A and B are shown apart, each in its own frame.
Chain A
Amino acid sequence: MRRTVVAGRAMGEVLRSSMPINFLGAVDAARGTITDPAHDLHGRALRGTILAFPHGIGSSVGAYTVYALKANGVAPAAMVCARADASVVSGCAIAGIPLMLDGGLCEGVRDGQACTVDTAARTVVPA
């Protein structure tokens, strides 16, 4: 079942991870990249993507990192999480990044595929 947390519509390539993301400890907010060498998205750029990952973890300040990604122009176009955590939810709410909950993490579309997220229709479909 999909649920809308922050409403919006956005296009981007799907960037999917099977690992939770610690935004404070593992993301470079200036460059918009994952810096944790142990993460499966290590070195990958988040800018303009539809970032699909299980959920955020770690420090409550991660919310500021989500906001800073947007302020620095390197934020994902939208996020899709399997479950909600406060930092990602509030960070997206302040930054205006569409956020949808989806246990299947965009099942049916390929990694890297250009897609449109539409929270009103609760869909992620090829663009």
Chain B
Amino acid sequence: MDLTRDEEDALHGRRGEAMETAYRVLVATGEAMGAAALGGVSWAHLSGVNYNTIGDAGARFLADMAAAGARVRTRTTLNPMGYDSRADHGLPDEFVRGQEGIASSYGQMGVDLSFSCIPYEIFRESDLLPRAGGRVAFAESNAAIYANSVGGLRTNKESAFGALAAALSGKSPVAPPEDPGSVPTVRLRVDSASDLDYGLLGYFAGAAGSRTVNIEGAAEAMGHRSCKSLCAGMGTSGTCSRFSLGARAAGERIDFGREERDAALDSLSTAGSGDMIALGSPQLGAGELASLAAMVGGARFQKRCVVFCARASLEAAEASGDAAGLRRAGCELLADCCACLTPLVSADDVDSVTTSSVKAAYYLSRSNGVGVDLRPISEIVRGEAR
């Protein structure tokens, strides 16, 4: 990879220790992907925020970086943390201290503490999105896939360190062109696919490709919820950073029919029912909160139902009255955090969780150690709210 003199200086520590660390990541990542050069980015979105996932080692790394003078050079937002900063969850002091330390390190670096995994959604309404085709650096996999596939932006599927390096340098490696012959096509052969089916399709397709997967048979019918579900499922199972839609001649062709859908569902849905309901992963946006409120109507959930959403979406739902409606239906609305990898769902309290998210199912089962009852949102509302 060709580096400018400035970039060489940074790599060799002549711009400080923090910048040297950032360039070590940029160069290793660039070399590995076969990039010819680094290019500017106008927005970085970081992962590596939740104390549950990065722990003391990660917290110390970030504190050291902040102390070494790490400061972001481009607009930088970040993923959810472990809990809602405005609610009292009764979490252990040790967790809260660890989490606050992480937030404080990012704040010191100049990061906008957005605590959301749907940056594309909350910034679309505030007109803060970069121009179409602009280069960004998103670590959150569902957001990267969304940005590349439907958001009109371009990003590598950055790692947590890659996005941090991009934030600190304002640059990311420019990926070489993709060989069109290496893009497989997955044909959706499930009739009247639900939002969950799209999540399972993403989970299946994500493991089938390496960078882009073409999806055939999805185009017109896919609503926003299904699209988010597809992006999150795809980000969970593989290394893909983008999907395209439509018919395509080149590349391998694979069917995703009833049988493949059922196999994916069986591998993720491990319980027949849940002791509680968790909706999110990705966080719900304002539109989804409104549609959930409409779906529930005057009914009430018969067990604990936690709805994870972005702070901005929650504020919009407070203003519209949807938040009040959802609370009347028994929903607990939480911002700043999300369904996967939150300490708020623990095997100490529940054996199993009902969710509509493939990504939540994957991490609840593997990281939180609880059983998962995976169902489409409409079925959850019908079965659990009376």
> Which residues in A have some Cβ–Cβ distance to B below 8 Å?
3, 5-6, 20, 22, 24-26, 29-30, 35-36, 55-65, 67-68, 71-72, 83-87, 89-94, 99, 101
Contacts and interface: CB of A to CB of B under 8 A. Distances in A.
A65 B237 CA distance: 17
Say what secondary structure dominates the interface of chain A: mixed
A40 to B, nearest CB: 16
Contacts of B362: 25, 58
A25 to B, nearest CB: 4
B161 to A, nearest CB: 4
Interface string B295-329: 00000000000000000000000000000000000
Nearest to A5: B32
Given A60-B140, A62-B159, A94-B24, A86 B54 contact: no
A64 B162 contact: no
B367 A25 contact: yes
B330 interface: no
Contacts of B57: 29, 64, 67-68, 71-72
B61 A60 contact: no
A38 to B, nearest CB: 8
A33 B71 CA distance: 34
A24 to B, nearest CB: 6
Q: Which of A22, A24, A61, A84 has the most CB of B within 10 A?
A: A61
A91 B33 contact: no
Given A24-B367, A25-B363, A89 B55 contact: no
B47 A61 contact: yes
B237 A87 contact: no
A1 B164 CA distance: 31
Q: Across the A-B interface, give the 9 residue pairs with the lowest CB-CB distance, nearest first.
A: A84-B32, A90-B161, A93-B28, A71-B57, A68-B57, A86-B159, A60-B139, A63-B159, A25-B366
Given A60-B163, A61-B54, A89-B29, 15 more contacts: A22-B366, A24-B53, A25-B366, A57-B237, A60-B159, A61-B48, A61-B139, A62-B159, A63-B162, A71-B57, A83-B210, A86-B32, A86-B239, A92-B28, A94-B25
Nearest to A96: B24
B137 to A, nearest CB: 11
B261 interface: no
Contacts of B273: none
A85 B163 contact: no
A60 B161 CA distance: 8
A26 B363 CA distance: 9
A8 B159 CA distance: 22
Contacts of B367: 24-25
A89 B367 CA distance: 23
A99 B48 CA distance: 22
B160 A63 contact: yes
B239 A60 contact: no
Contacts of B33: 84, 86
Given A57-B237, A86-B156, A89-B28, A35 B366 contact: yes
Contacts of B139: 60-61
B60 interface: yes
Contacts of B27: 93
B156 to A, nearest CB: 7
